[in-house]
Amino acid sequence: MSGFDKDWLALREPADRAARHKALVDRLVRHLQSTASPKLMDIGCGTGSTWRSLEADMPAEAAWLLLDNDGLLLQEAMRRIGPDRGVTVRQHDLNDIDGLPLDGVSIVTASALFDLCSEPFCAAFAQRLATAGSGLYAALNYDGIMDWSVTHPLDQKMVGYFNDHQRTDKGFGVALGPDATDCLAQVLSQQGYAVHIEDSPWLLDAASADLQQELLNGLRTPIVEMSGLPTDTVDEWLQFRLAAISAPGSSCRVGHKDLLALPD
Ligand SMILES: C[S@@+](CC[C@H](N)C(=O)[O-])C[C@H]1O[C@@H](n2cnc3c(N)ncnc32)[C@H](O)[C@@H]1O
């Protein structure tokens, strides 16, 4: 198990889908339409959210390989996708970059993954991609920006502590957290890729109350760990934020960036 809960992934999937930058997906589609026998490999696939978001737009003959190190998430992915959809799954630890099955892969896709990864991982991954001649569509990388229409004086301090936690090791060495997109852009440009980046924020209102609640509850442990603040202070802020979800006109923005890198 990876510690990524399928219920959390299901809760965030509609917000992720709405947030993806459409023009970047269109550019990806145009690239694949001009590719013979397109093959996509989704890394850190979880339960297949990226495939569900993209498959309807992709060329009909596109083949997909979904890859994760969590066998339970892969089982859930296959259960939700069903047979005969041109999709196969493989259990693989991404830290084994040399062992990635990149032969014939036109585009590697990933969502909500690279902010977990380290700079050395991204550099080695970019080199491996370039050797294979594959492109990369890396969506929904958290960019460190979180704000609310109903404000509290501690908001940005708390987000700062959370961002500090995002930069701790998540299984790939010291994580890039909010710096992931900049780092990817740099290492991919160095490998000769044409890199396109767009914003893809979650824009959440009362209709996403469940997601906002889970998101806020998930901030507690990282903030307590990184801030050294008394738990009462953190809990008072959280109680304010949770109550504000249902305030009239209340909204929350969580910043992400989507990146598309195509071989030049
Ligand atoms: C935030 S989740 C995103 C899942 C999916 N892409 C989505 O958008 O719903 C990160 C995913 O990366 C996978 N992951 C984390 N570390 C990994 C590793 N070392 N090798 C392969 N997959 C990994 C987790 O199992 C999880 O499915």
Could you give the domains of the chain? 6-146+173-203+255-263 (3.40.50.150)
pLDDT at 129: 98
Query: What sign does the CA torsion over 128, 132, 133, 137 have?
Result: negative
Ligand 1: atom nearest CA of 13 is 9
Residue 39: phi and psi, rounded to 5, are: -130, 130
Q: Does residue 251 contact residue 45 with C-beta atoms inside 8 Å?
A: no
Question: Ligand 1 centre and the CA of 56: distance in Å?
Answer: 22
Question: Ligand 1 centre and the CA of 247: distance in Å?
Answer: 34
Nearest CA to ligand 1 atom 11: 44
pLDDT by 10-residue block (mean), the chain, 264 residues: 84 98 98 96 98 96 97 97 93 98 98 98 98 98 98 98 98 98 98 98 97 98 97 98 97 98 93
Ligand 1: atom nearest CA of 94 is 20
Q: What Cα–Cα distance (Å) separates residue 215 from each residue in 46, 119, 202, 211, 220?
A: 18, 26, 12, 6, 9
